[in-house]
A and B are shown apart, each in its own frame.
Chain A
Amino acid sequence: EVRLVESGGGLVKPGGSLRLSCAASGFTFSSKSMNWVRQAPGKGLEWVSSISGRSNYIYYAGSVKGRFTISRDNAKNSMYLQMNSLRAEDTAVYYCARDMGPDSSSLDYWGQGTLVTVSS
């Protein structure tokens, strides 16, 4: 069974940093691209970042480029999102999601999400 579990969310002050983790199980982690998608309270879904299986392709949304860094450790079946210079508008539930594959690039499995609140 595919399972994705996020952790690391919490309350942080504007300008602060936070590191999210996504622990994966139930599939060959290194063979799949992974994504972070966020959802502000009461709002829609916003893609944040993606990383290919061997970390050779990395992409960011314009709203987080230069502030967030995505990474993964295939030996630990884990993905990370280092978030720096956090702003109030980064407040959201952050989901990790698996990319199904190149034929569709849909997000076929999602974690339960971790809440990040940026507030003074």
Chain B
Amino acid sequence: DIQMTQSPSSLSASVGDRVTITCRATQTITNFLNWYQQKPGKAPKLLIYSSSTLQSGVPSRFSGSGSGTDFTLTISSLQPEDLATYYCQQSYSTPPTFGQGTKLEIK
């Protein structure tokens, strides 16, 4: 199975900050990398698929990049409603696997 490792596991940032979360795969997954946002008590929501394609309706402050084994989710200007846990997921091979999550707190 492909293992996905996110860093950091948690972070605290202020409104307006630029925030970056990284995700690393144990083998190449080309661009089959997806990002999800899960707000407390809610189901996950797809933010970005295929490494860098923004899902419809997702604010443009979210962006993704990377290919191969290393990927990044960036929030260009953090908003209060971005309080959530973020997960990366590889869909290159079965079983699809998730990172352990990055809990984002607002200072």
Contacts and interface: CB of A to CB of B under 8 A. Distances in A.
A95 interface: yes
B71 interface: no
B61 interface: no
Chain A's interface size range is: 20 to 34
A104 B91 contact: yes
Contacts of A59: 94-95
A62 B97 CA distance: 12
Contacts of B95: 47, 59, 61-62
Nearest to A105: B91
A46 interface: yes
A106 interface: yes
Interface string A11-51: 00000000000000000000000000100000011110010
Given A104-B32, A111-B43, A47 B98 contact: yes
A104 B52 CA distance: 11
Contacts of B50: 103-104, 106
B24 to A, nearest CB: 16
Contacts of B99: 44
B49 A104 contact: yes
A62 B45 CA distance: 25
Nearest to A101: B49
B96 interface: yes
A46 B32 contact: no
A59 B97 CA distance: 13
Contacts of B38: 45
Interface of A: 37, 44-47, 50, 59, 61-62, 95, 97, 100, 103-113
Interface of B: 32, 34, 36, 38, 43-46, 49-50, 53, 55, 87, 89, 91, 94-101
A-B complex: 7 closest residue pairs judged by Cβ atoms? A105-B91, A106-B49, A106-B34, A110-B43, A104-B49, A45-B98, A104-B50
